[in-house]
Amino acid sequence: MSLIGKGILKGMGVTAKNFFQSYYRKERLPTVEYPEEKATINQFSRNFPFLLYDGDDPVDGMRCTACTLCERACPPQCIYIIKDKDENGKAILSPRIFDIDTSVCMSCQLCVEVCPYEAIRMDSAFELSNENRFEGLLLNREELLKPNAYYHEIHPLEARETDDRMAAKAALAEAKKKARQKRARLAAKNKPPPGLKKTPPTRKKPPQREKSE
Amino acid sequence: MIVAFYLLALIAVLGAGLAITLRNVVHAVFSVLLFFSALAGLFLLLLAEFIAAVQVLVYIGSVGILMLFAIMLTTNVVGDPNRPVQSRGWVWGGLAVVALLAGVLLPIISRTGGQSPTPLSDFNPSVKQLGLVLMDPYFASLGVIALLLTAGLIGAVVAATGASEADQAKTVPENRPRFPNN
Amino acid sequence: MNNYFDLKLVELGRWIEAFFAHYPTLKLVVHLLLCTLPLALSFMGAFAFTTWLERKGLARIQNRPGPNRVGLFGLLQPIADGIKMLLKEDIVPERSDKLFHFLAPIMLMIPAMIGVGFLPLGDGLHALPLDSAIIFFFAISSLNTIAVFMAGWSSRNKYSLLGGMRAVAQMISYEIPLVLSAVAVIMMAGSLNAQEVVASQQISSWVGSGNILQEFFGRILGWNVFKPWGFAGFIFFFIAALAEANRSPFDLPEADSEIIAGHLTEYSGFKYAILFMGEYISAFAIAGIGVTLFLGGWNGPVFAGLPWFVLKLFSLFAVMIWIRGTLPRLRVDQLMGYAWKFLFPLAILNIFLAGFYHFLERQWGTAIAMLAGWLFGFGALQLAAIALSRLNQSPTIRSKRVYQLVE
Amino acid sequence: MNLFDFSHSVGWLWWIPLFPLMATVWLGFFNPSGKFAAAVANAALLASLLLSIRAFAMTWGPEAGVLTANFTWIQVAGVNLEFGVVLNPLTGAMLAMVTFVGLLIFLYSTSYMSRDPGMTRFFCYLSLFMVGMLGLVMSNSLLLLFMFWEIVGLASYLLIGFWFRKPSAAAAAKKAFITTRIGDLGFLLGLLWAFKATSTFLLFDGGQGLLEIEQITALSATKDVLFGLNGAGVIALFLFIGAVGKSGQLPLHVWLPDAMEGPTPVSALIHAATMVAAGVFLVARAFPLFLADATVLGIVSWVGALTALFAALVALGQYDIKRILAYSTVSQLGLMMVGLGAGGLALSEGGVSIGTFHLLTHAFFKALLFLGAGAIIHGCGHEQDIRLMGGVFNRMKVASICYLAGALALCAFPFTSGYYSKDQILLSAWTAHGAVFWISASASLLTAFYMTRQCCYVFLGDYRGKGPIRQSPSLMTAPLVILAIFSLAMGIVSEEFYHILTYLSGIAVDQHAWIVVVVSWVIALGGIALGLLIYGGSQLGLDATDPMKGSLRTPYAWLENQFFIDELYDATVARLWKASAVLIVFLESGIHFLVETVRGLVTGMGGFLSKTIDQKLIDQISFDGVCDRIYKSGRLNAIIQNGFLQGYLRSVTLGAVILGVLYLVFAR
Amino acid sequence: MGLTLHHFLILSAILFSIGLVGALTRRHIIIMLICLEIMLNAANLNLIAFWHFSSNPLLMHGPLFTLFAIAIAATEAALGLALVLAIFRHYKTIDLESIRDLKE
Q: Is the pLDDT of residue B1 over 60?
A: yes
Determine the length of chain A.
213
Q: Is C165 on the interface with B (CB under 8 A)?
A: yes
In this complex, is the C-beta atom of E86 within 8 Å of any C-beta atom belonging to chain B?
yes
Q: How many CB pairs under 8 A join D and E?
A: 28
Q: pLDDT digits over D3-17, tens only?
A: 666 666 677 788 888
Task: Say yes or no for a CB contact (<8 Å) between C139 and B126.
Answer: no
Per-residue pLDDT tens digits for C177-226: 999 999 999 988 888 888 888 888 887 777 777 777 777 887 888 888 88
What does the pLDDT read at residue B42? 92
Q: Is E15 on the interface with D (CB under 8 A)?
A: no
**ipTM value:** 0.59
**C394–E contact, CB cutoff 8 A:** no
Portion of chain C with pLDDT greater than 90, in percent? 21
Is any Cβ of chain D less than 8 angstroms from the Cβ of E34? no
Q: How far is E71 from chain B (nearest CA, A)?
A: 7
Query: For position A179, what pLDDT does the model report?
Result: 94
Please check whether residue C80 lies inside any domain of the structure: no
**Predicted pLDDT at B75:** 67
**Which of C219, C112, C103, C109 minimizes the C-alpha distance to C150?**
C103
Identify the pLDDT of residue A172.
Answer: 94
Which residues in E lie closer than 8 A to residue B115 (C-beta atoms)? 53
The stretches in chain D having pLDDT less than 70 are: 1-9, 61-65, 467, 497, 506, 509, 537-545, 549-553, 643, 668
Give the model's pLDDT for residue A76.
92
The SS3 assignment for A120 reads strand
Quickly state the pLDDT bin for C396 (edges 50, 70, 90): low
Contact between chains at C404 and E88 (C-beta distance less than 8 A): no
Interface of A with C in 17-36 (CB under 8 A): 18-19, 22-23, 28-31, 33
| Reported confidence tier of residue E71, pLDDT bands at 50, 70, 90 | very high
What pLDDT was estimated at residue D471?
75
Tens-place pLDDT, residues C46-65: 999 999 999 999 998 888 88
Evaluate if residue B128 carries a pLDDT over 50: yes
Question: Do chains E and B meet with 3 or more Cβ pairs nearer than 8 Å?
Answer: yes
Angle at D27 between CA D22 and CA D30, to 5 degrees: 110
Domains of chain B: 1-78 (1.20.120.1200)
| Average pLDDT rounded to a whole number, residues B21-39 | 90
Q: Report the range of poorest mean pLDDT among A189-203, C332-346, D604-618, E44-58.
A: A189-203
From the CA of C70, how many Å to the nearest CA of chain A? 13
Q: Which residue of E has its CA nearest to B110?
A: E6
CATH number, residue E68:
1.10.287.3510
Q: Give the whole-angstrom CA distance, residue B150 versus residue E75.
A: 9
Q: What is the mean pLDDT of residues A84-98?
A: 86
Residue B178 CA: distances (Å) to CA of C130, C235, D460, D640, D643: 59, 56, 107, 23, 17
User: C139, B62: Cβ pair inside 8 Å?
Assistant: no
Partner chains of B (3+ C-beta pairs under 8 Å): C, D, E
CA distance D650 to chain B (A): 6
Q: Please tell me the distance from the alpha carbon of residue E25 to that of residue E3, in angstroms, as a whole number.
A: 33
Are the Cβ atoms of E71 and B145 closer than 8 angstroms?
Answer: yes
Q: What is the mean pLDDT of residues C101-108?
A: 90
Name the more confident of A181 and B118.
A181
User: What range defines the domain where residue E63 resides?
Assistant: 5-101
pLDDT tens figures, A5-17 = 788 888 899 999 9
pLDDT score recorded for residue B167: 59
Q: Do C326 and A19 touch (CB under 8 A)?
A: no
Interface residue C149 vs chain B (CB under 8 A): yes
Residue B182 pLDDT: 39
Number of domains in chain C: 1
pLDDT of the residue at D400: 85
Confirm whether C264 is domain-assigned. Answer: yes
Question: Could you please report the per-residue DSSP string of C67-133?
Answer: S-SSSGGGTTHHHHHHHHHHHS-----TTS-HHHHHHHHHHHHHHHHHHHHTSB-SSS-BSS--TTH
Cα–Cα distance for residue pair B182/C328, rounded to 1 Å: 57
**Average pLDDT over every residue of B59-79:** 81
Of all residues in chain B, the one with the smallest CA distance to D663 is B104
pLDDT at position B10: 94
When computed from its CA atoms, the radius of gyration of chain E, rounded to whole angstroms, is 17
- Min Cα–Cα distance to chain C from E71, Å: 15
Chain A CA closest to residue C59: A19
C175–B contact, CB cutoff 8 A: yes
Question: Can you give the pLDDT at residue A1?
Answer: 43
| Alpha-carbon gap, residue C183 to C193, rounded angstroms | 13
Which of C172, C405, C406 best tests the E interface by mutation, with the highest count of E CBs <10 A?
Answer: C405
Q: pLDDT value at position C316?
A: 93
In tens, the pLDDT along C274-329 reads 988 998 999 999 999 999 999 888 888 877 788 889 999 999 999 999 998 888 88
B128 with C100: Cβ contact below 8 A: no
Q: Identify which of E22, E25, E60 has the shortest CB distance to residue B130.
A: E60
Q: Is the CB of E68 inside 8 Å of chain C's CB atoms?
A: no
Whether residue C100 lies within 8 A of chain B, CB to CB, comes out as: yes
In this complex, do C61 and A15 lie within 8 Å of one another by their Cβ atoms? Answer: yes
Nearest to E103 among B88, B153, B182 (CB): B182
Q: Quick one: fold of A49-147? A: Alpha-Beta Plaits (3.30.70)
How far is C218 from chain E, CA to nearest CA, in Å? 36
Partner-chain contact B166 C97, CB within 8 Å: no
What is the number of other CB atoms lying within 10 angstroms of the CB of residue A191?
10
Average model confidence (pLDDT) across chain A:
84
Total domain count, chain E:
1
Contact: chain E with chain A (3+ CB pairs below 8 Å): no
**Which among B155-164, C111-120, D414-423 has the top mean pLDDT?**
C111-120
Residue D597's CB is within 10 A of a number of other CB atoms, namely 8
Contacts D653 to B, Cβ<8 Å = 96-97, 100
Cβ–Cβ gap E102/D646 under 8 Å: no
Residue B171 in this model has a pLDDT that exceeds 60? no
- pLDDT over threshold 70, residue B85: no
The residue among C348, C367, C380, C347 whose CA lies nearest residue C226 is: C367
pLDDT band at A176 (very low <50, low <70, confident <90, very high): very high
Task: Kindly state the average pLDDT of the residues A173-199.
Answer: 81
The pLDDT value recorded for residue C314 is 93
Across the interface, of C65, C326, C385, the residue whose CB is closest to A15 is C326
Residue in E closest to C403 by C-alpha: E89
Q: Which of C61, C68, C382 sits opposite A19 (nearest CB)?
A: C61
Residues D145 and D285: beta-carbon distance below 8 Å: yes
Residue in chain C lying closest to E90 (CA)? C405
Enumerate neighbours of E (3 or more CB pairs within 8 A): B, C, D
**Confidence check: pLDDT of B118 > 60:** no
Q: Is the pLDDT of residue C156 over 50?
A: yes
B84: which chain E residues are within 8 Å (Cβ-Cβ)? 27
Q: Band of the pLDDT at B117, cuts 50, 70, 90?
A: very low
For the stretch D64-82, pLDDT in tens is 667 777 777 777 777 777 8
CB contact under 8 A, D644 and B104: no
How many of the other CB atoms lie within 10 Å of CB of D109? Answer: 29
User: CA torsion sign, D152 to D156 to D159 to D161?
Assistant: negative
Spatial distance between the Cα atoms of D66 and D206, rounded to a whole number of angstroms: 9
**pLDDT exceeds 70 at position E32:** yes
φ and ψ at residue A194, rounded to 5 degrees: -65, 80
Do D and A count as touching (3 or more CB pairs closer than 8 A)? no
Segment A114-165, tens digit of pLDDT: 998 889 999 888 888 888 888 888 888 888 899 989 999 889 999 999 999 9
pLDDT over 50 at A208, yes or no = yes
Residue D644 backbone zone (phi > 0: left; psi -120 to 50: alpha; other: beta): beta
Does C235 contact A30 at a Cβ distance shorter than 8 Å? no
Half-sphere exposure of residue B77: CA atoms within 13 angstroms, side-chain side: 15
Compute the nearest-CA separation of E74 from chain C (Å).
Answer: 15
Question: What whole-number distance in Å separates Cα of residue D605 and Cα of residue D216?
Answer: 66
CB D275 within 8 A of CB D315: no
Question: Using CA of residue C342, residue C344, residue C348, residue C354, what is the dihedral sign?
Answer: positive
Report yes or no: B120 at the D interface, CB cutoff 8 Å.
no
E89 touches chain C (CB under 8 A): yes
Domain-located, residue C33: no
C370 domain residue, yes or no: yes
